[in-house]
Amino acid sequence: MTELQTLIGTVRIRNPIILSSGIWGSTYSTLNRAYKEGFGAVTTKSVGLNPRKGHPNPSVIYIPEIKSILNAVGLANPGYDAFSEELREINHEVKYSVSIFGSSSTEFQQIIQHMDNNLTGNTPIAYELNLSCPHAKKVGIAVGTDPNIVYTIVEACKVRTKVPIWVKLTPNITNIKSVAESAISAGADAIVAINTIKAMMIDIHIKKPVLGNISGGLSGQAIKPIGVRVIYDLYERFGSEIPLVGVGGISSWQDAIEYILAGATAIQIGSALIDYDAPQTLVHNILNGLNEYLSREGKSFSQLRGLAHE
């Protein structure tokens, strides 16, 4: 077995496969279970200041032809207060990061401060700032496409906490590099990309949009080439200066390697879980494939990063 322990900045995880935000991670039990089933780390559902019930259903639709999911959950969450109580129940061996959304730097600060105070003893490995959800008003993408706002938010979070700050970016933007640059210069410890891509679906019989929110975000296999390009571009620009977590459409070891060769330090998986009754098989298959690839190539995992650029 090759060594697959992975270092994301100062954070060491047992393998490079992380459960992405909004898949499973709404309760402590699912986070515990996902970690037990083999993920290197798990990410919580994004949490905000106040309880939100999200958009009306249909809000999550699977499109089998392209093995992709269209969603407009709308950042449903119980609010940071109740959610921090939930997270206190997480088993202590579980490496988890808390995904946070907000509309201003003070909102982000307030949530982070509360989490820091409430989660002592079982601190998250990172706060992942969701600056990229495409289907909720005033938050997510609304703050994540302006480099100045991104700078202010990341800087505000950095001064409040010792926990690493990861910044999750949207591909729904012409120049992701300038937003990433702001995040990095404000002190971001890693960049996570990509979130879902704006999309919608219309029913041709009733002649109306299917999603309760009209439009939503696409994830799954259809978006993989887009995610790979984003990671490639970011690595091209920043090299190994900043850890990159690649996400979007990964469902096999080949996909994972593609992201690593493009420049990712680690990867996240979400939509692919739909094909499995238990994620254990998926994680296991990817780790096995990765190991075999590395031994065939005679390389260590960290040597693989960014090789497509050479």
Partner 1 sequence: MNKQNRIEIPLCLTITDLVFEGEKTATFSFHLPANLELDPIPGQYFMLWLPGDDEIPISISQIENNEKIQFTICSKGQTSANFLRMNKGDLVGLRGPYGNGFDISDKEVAIIIAGGMGIAPLRFIISTLISRTQKKILLIHGARTHDELFFKEELNNTDIDIRYCTDDGSFGFHGFPTIILEEILQKAQQKNLSHEIYSCGPEKMLKGILDIVNQFNLEKNAQFSLADRYIRCGFGICGSCYLDGVGLSICRDGPVFRGDVLQKITDFGSFGRNANGSKYPL
- The residue ranges that bind ligand FMN (CB under 6 A) are 20-23, 45-46, 60, 69, 71, 73, 75, 99, 130, 133, 168, 195-196, 219-220, 223, 247-250, 269-272
- The stretch among 30-38, 138-146, 229-237, 302-310 that binds partner 1 (CB under 8 A) is 30-38
Closest distance of CB 215 from partner 1, Å: 16
- Tell me how far apart the 2 most distant CA atoms of the chain are, in Å: 57
Q: Which residues pair with 126 in a beta bridge?
A: 97
Tokens 């249909």 sit at which residue? 58
End-to-end C-alpha distance for the chain, whole angstroms: 26
Closest distance of CB 248 from partner 1, Å: 15
Strands in the chain per DSSP E: 6-8, 11-13, 17-19, 41-43, 60-63, 68-71, 96-100, 126-130, 165-168, 190-193, 197-200, 202-203, 208-209, 215-220, 244-247, 266-269
The reply on whether position 33 binds partner 1 by CB under 8 A is yes
Tell me how far CA of residue 216 lies from CA of 14, 75, 78, 127, 171, in angstroms.
33, 11, 21, 24, 14
d(CA 224, CA 272): 11
CB-nearer residue toward ligand FMN: 115 or 250? 250
Binding partner of residue 305 among ligand FMN, partner 1, none, CB cut-off 5 to 8 Å per kind: none
Which two tokens mark 308? 């497509």
Among 39, 80, 83, 151, binds partner 1 (CB under 8 A): 83
- The stretch among 5-13, 58-66, 191-199, 231-239 that binds partner 1 (CB under 8 A) is 58-66
Residues 90-109 close enough to bind partner 1 by CB under 8 A: none
Binding-site string for partner 1 from residue 231 to residue 260, where x marks contact by CB under 8 A and - marks none: ------------------------------
- Catalytic residue chosen out of the listed positions 17, 47, 49, 133: 133
The DSSP-derived string for 157-188 is HHHH-SS-EEEE--SSSS-HHHHHHHHHHTT-
Binding partner of residue 154 among partner 1, ligand FMN, none, CB cut-off 5 to 8 Å per kind: none
d(CA 163, CA 158): 8
3-class state of residue 63 by DSSP: strand
| 133 in active site | yes
CB-nearer residue toward ligand FMN: 2 or 57? 57
The reply on whether position 202 binds partner 1 by CB under 8 A is no
The reply on whether position 304 binds partner 1 by CB under 8 A is no
Residue 84 DSSP class: H
Its sign, for the CA torsion 198, 203, 207, 213, is: negative
CA angle 36, 292, 96 (to 5 degrees): 25
Binding partner of residue 250 among ligand FMN, partner 1, none, CB cut-off 5 to 8 Å per kind: ligand FMN
Closest distance of CB 154 from partner 1, Å: 27
The residues that are catalytic are: 133
Q: Which residues sit at the interface with partner 1, rule CB under 8 A?
A: 22-30, 32-34, 45, 51-54, 56-64, 69, 71, 73, 76-79, 82-83, 86, 201, 203, 205-206, 208, 210, 212, 270-271, 273-274, 277
